[in-house]
Structure 1
Amino acid sequence: MTNEEDQTAGKTHMSWSWLRMALNLREKIKLGDKQIIFIWAALVGALGALTALLFEMGVELVQDLLTGRHGYRQIQAFQEMASQDWAWCIFVPAAGGLLAGLTLLFTQRFVPAKATEYMEAVALGNGYVPPKPSLLRSLSAVFSIGSGASIGREGPLVQSAAVVGSALGRFFHLSAPRLRLVVACAAASGMSAAFHTPLAGGLFVSEIVLGALTIDFLAPLLVASCAGYFTMGLFHEPAPIYQLQQEVSLTGNQHVLWCVLLGCL
C-alpha cells in the first residue's frame, strides 16, 4: 500500500473509532423523559433571561432617547429633568403614552390574533402564546415604562419570555402538556431574571400559575429559574433589573415603629 492509501485507511479507522465511542456513550447514557424535560428547562431558562435582558435594554433605550439622560436610573433622570426644566416631566410621559397608544391601536386594527396571557396558556390552554399581539403589547409597555409611566414592569417582561418558550416548543412540535410546562419554565425564568430570585421565580409559577407544588412541576421550574438567574448574572450586574434607589433616613426603633404602623394600616 502507498503512503496515501495508508493515510486514507488511518482516517477511516479513526472515524469508525469515534463513531463506536459515540454509540457506546449513547448506550450508557440513556435520556429518559424526565432528563429531557430538564434539558428543555435549562435551555428555555437561558433564553428567557436573554429575552428579559433585551426587554430591559429596550426600556433603557426609550428612556435615553426621550429624556436625553444617558446612564441614569429612571428616578434620577426625572429628578434632573425636574430641576432643569419641569415641562419635560410632562412632555416625556405624554410622548411615551402616545407611542404606547399608537402601538396598541396598530395591534388592534392590523393583528387579528388576540393576545393570550401566559397564565391562561399554561393553566387553561394548550401552551400556545400568539407571538405578534403579545410582543406588540410588550413593545407598548416598553414605551410606557421608558417614559416614566407607573405600570407593572414584570408582567410584559415575563410575557415576552413566555412567547419565546412557546415559539420554541411549537417549532419542535412538542405535545400540549410538555408545551405548557415549557412555557411555565420560560415564565419562571423571566421572573427570576427580573428580580434575581431564582427560588421565588419557580415557586411563584408552580403555586400561582400551575396550582401545584409537586416535584414533577417544581423541579423543572426551579432548573429554568436558576438557569435564568445564572444567565442574567453573566450579562447584567448582580442586582434586580428594577430597583428604586431611595435613601431612607429612618433608623433604629423609629424605623421599626413606622413599619408596624404601615402593617396595621
Structure 2
Amino acid sequence: MPKAKSFLFKRFLKRTFSKLEKLIFLLKELLTPRQFIYLSCILVGMSSALAVIILKTFAHWVFKSSQRLDAFFHLPYSNSTLPIIGIVITVIITKRLLGGSIEKGTSQIMYAVAKKRGIIPRKQMFAQIITSSFTVGMGGSAGLESPITVTGAAFGSNFAQNYRLSYKDRTLLLACGVAAGIAAAFNAPIAGVLFASEVILAEISITAFIPIMISAATGALISTVVLNEDILFSFKNVEFYDFHNIPYYILLGVLSGLVSINYARTFRKVEHYIASLKFNAINKALFGAGILGVLIFFFPSLFGEGYENIKILADNHPEQMVKNTVFERFSDSSWILLLVISATMLVKVYATSLTLSAGGNGGNFAPSLFVGSYLGFTLASFLNLTGLTKLPIGNFTLVGMAGILSGLFHAPLTAIFLIAEITGGYSLMVPLMIVSSVSFAISKRFEPHSFDIKNLADKGEVFTDNRDTNILNSIDVSKLIQSDYKAISVSPNLDELVQKIQESDDAIFPVLDEENKLLGLIFLDEIRPIVFSPFKVKYTTTNEVMHPPKEIIFYDETLETIMEKFDTSGCKVLPVLQEGVFLGFINKQLILEKYRMRLKSMVIE
C-alpha cells in the first residue's frame, strides 16, 4: 500500500510540473520578451529561496540527527568525530551518486559564464544541497552560502535552458538565482543584488538591476516568511558609532586586508598539499578530516559554520567560548581568553581548507565572516584591556566581518550592505565603508584577483574587471585556428612550393618536418620574383627563402596574450603550436570580428 501511494504521489507531481511547464511556455508566447524575463526572475527567485530553505532545514536536520546519534552511541569526542563522518559521507555520495566529482565555489559560476555560455549542469540544482548539508551539518568548518549561490545559479541557468532563452538572458537569470540565494540566506536583498553584480557579473547595465532586484526581493520575502528567526543570521543590538573611533576603524581595515591576504595564501597552500597526496578519495578524506578533528578538539568553535559564536562575541561574552574545552579553567582571565580567540581566528583557515580539500563541500563566505568577527573582537578587546581607549566590542566584531569579506572576495559593496542589513539598520555605515574600502585596497594591491577565482583567473578562464579581457577570454581559441594550410617540406628546390601556390590562394606556407614540427614560414610576397624564374625555382632551396616566425602562439594561451603577441610582432597572421606540433594559423582580423560579435551578445541590458 505505501508503494502504491508513493507511485501515485510521484505521478501527481509529474503531471503538475508538466502542466506548469506548458503554462510557462504559453506565457512566453503571449508576453513580450521583457515581460517574460520579469516573470522568469520571480520564478527563479522563488526556486532559489525554496532551495535555501531546503538546504538550511536539511542541514539543521542533519545536525540534530547527528546529535541524537551521538547520544545513542556515545561517540568519543563527538565534536571531533562527527565532522570526519560527515566528510566521509560527502565523499561517498559524490563518488557513488554524483559521477565522482562536484563543482565547488562561486568560481564555477563565473567559469560557466565565461567559458560555458552560462550553462550549469542540472545536477547542481540538488547536488550542493545534499553534500553541503552533510559536511556542514555534521560539523565541517565551512559555510553554506557558496553551495547556496551555486544552487541558485543552477536554477537560473536551467530555467533559461529549458525555455530556450538566449545567452544574455541565461546569464541574467543565473545572476538572479545567485542574488535570490544570498538574499534568502541572510534576509538581505540589497546584499544579494550587489553580490550578483560585484562577484558574478563583470559587465552589467542599469536595466539589468531590475530583474536581479525582483529576484532578490522574492528570495528574501519567502525566506522571511518560512524560516524561523533562529535559523537566519541577524543582530539587533548595535551601538551608533563614535567618530572619535575612526582611527581604530582604519587600523581594523588595515589588519583586515593583511589577514585576508594571509587567509587566501594559506588556504591555497593547504589545498595544494592535500591535492598532492597519493591517497584514494576515502583515505584523503580520513587524513584531512582527522586533522580537522584534532583542531576542533582544541578549538570547538571551529565546529560548523560558527554563527552562534559570532553572536556570542558580538554580545561580549567570550567566556562562553571556552566552556567544556581544555581552556575552561582560564575563563576568568581576559588575556588568556583573548589569546584563545586570536588563535582560533588564525586556525580557522586551516580548518576550512582541510574541510574542503579533504572532500567536503561548502564555501568560504561564512568562514570569512567568522574570521572577521574574531579579528574585530580581538582588536577592540586588546585596546580596551591595555587601557588605551574604550571601544564598543559589538560594533568592532560586526564591522570586522565586512573587512574580511571585502578583502577576501573583493566585494566591498556586498560587505557594507550585508552587515548593514543583518544588523537591522545603517548606524554603522561609516565604519563599514572605511573598513571595507581600506581592506579591499590593501588586498587588491597584493592579490589582484579575489580569493575564490585566483586559480581560474591566472589561466584566463574567468571574468575580471577588464571589459576587453572578459570578452577575449570568452572566445574559444580552438575555433579560430585555420587548419586548411598547404604545408611545404624541406627541399633543394622550390618545385613543390610553386605547385602549392598554383593550388591555393594562401599567402603564407609553413615548412614542416616529418613529425609535423614547424621549421619556418615562407611568405608569398617575398618570393614572387623567384617563382616566376624557372632557373631560380630549380636552384633555390626552401632553407634560403623561409624565415623563423616572429611570434608563436601556443594552443593553451589566452586570447589576451595572443593579442599582445600580434601587437608586439606587427603580424596579421601567426602560427599555432601544441607541444611543438604545428596546428595551423590564427588571423588577427578573425579575432577582431569574433570580438565585435561577442560584444553585441555578451553585454546584459
What TM-score do the two structures reach when normalised by structure 1?
Answer: 0.71
| Structure ranking higher in helix proportion | 1
Match of 2:228 in 1: 237
1:198 and 1:126 mapped to 2: Cα distance?
26
Change (3 A) 1:192 1:175: same
Asked if the contact 1:166–1:179 (Cα under 8 Å) also holds between the matched residues in 2, the reply is: yes
1:42 to 1:238, Cα distance in 2 relative to 1, 3 A? farther
1:214-255 Cα deviation digits (max 9, x unpaired): 212222111110111111122113576354241424799243
Within-5 A mapping of 1:60-209? 60-68=60-68, 87-106=77-96, 110=99, 117-132=108-123, 135-209=126-200
* Sequence identity percentage: 22
CA distance in 2 between counterparts of 1:48 and 1:146 reads 20
* Matched residue SS, 1:131: coil
Residues 113 and 258 of structure 1: CA distance in aligned 2, closer, same or farther (over 3 Å):
closer
- How far apart are residue 107 of structure 1 and its match? 5.5
CA separation in 2, counterparts of 1:145 and 1:199? 26
Q: 3-state SS of the aligned residue for 1:253?
A: coil
Q: 2:392: which partner in 1?
A: 255
C-alpha separation in 1, matches of 2:52 and 2:169: 22
Aligned partners of 1:56, 1:237: CA distance in 2, in Å?
Answer: 11
Structure 1's 199 and 165: CA in aligned 2 closer, same or farther, altered over 3 A?
Answer: same
1:191 Cα deviation after fit: 0.8
How far does residue 122 in structure 1 lie from its aligned partner after superposition? 3.0
**Residues 207 and 213, structure 1, Cα contact 8 Å, conserved in 2:** no
Aligned twin of 2:46: 46
2:210 to 214, 219, 223: 219
Of residues 90-99 and 33-42 in structure 1, the stretch that sits farther from structure 2 once superposed is 33-42
Provide the rounded CA distance (Å) in 1 between the counterparts of 2:97 and 2:75. 34
Deviations 1:174-193 (A, max 9, x none): 12211111111011100111
Task: State the alpha-carbon separation in 2 of the partners of residues 239 and 216 from structure 1.
Answer: 36
Structure 1 residue runs without a partner (length 5+) = 1-29, 70-77
Q: Report the Cα distance in structure 2 between the residues aligned to 1:145 and 1:114, rounded to whole angstroms.
A: 16
Matched residue type, 1:94: I
Give the stretch that moved more between structures: 43-52 or 131-140. 131-140
CA–CA distance in 2 between the matches of 1:195 and 1:257?
A: 19
Separation of aligned partners in 2, 1:258 and 1:50: 32
SS in 2 for 1:129: coil
- Name the aligned partner's letter for residue 34 of structure 1: R
8 Å CA contact 1:137–1:156 kept in 2: the answer is yes
The TM-score normalised by the length of structure 2 is 0.33
Mapped partners of 2:186, 2:35: distance in 1: 28
Bigger relative contact order (CA 8 A; separation at least 6) = 1
Aligned-residue RMSD, C-alpha: 3.5
SS in 2 for 1:103: helix
1:115-138 per-position Cα deviation (integer Å, ceiling 9, x unaligned): 882222234432211022663344
- Say if 1:87 and 1:257 are closer, same or farther in 2 by CA, change over 3 A: closer
Contact 2:49 2:184 (8 Å CA) reproduced: yes
Is the 8 Å Cα contact of residues 93 and 147 (structure 1) preserved in structure 2?
A: yes
Partner of 1:14: none
More strand by share: 2
State the number of aligned residues: 223
Residue in 1 aligned with 2:36? 36
What SS is found at the alignment partner of 2:112?
A: helix
Unaligned runs of 5+ in 2: 1-29, 234-306, 318-380, 401-434, 440-605
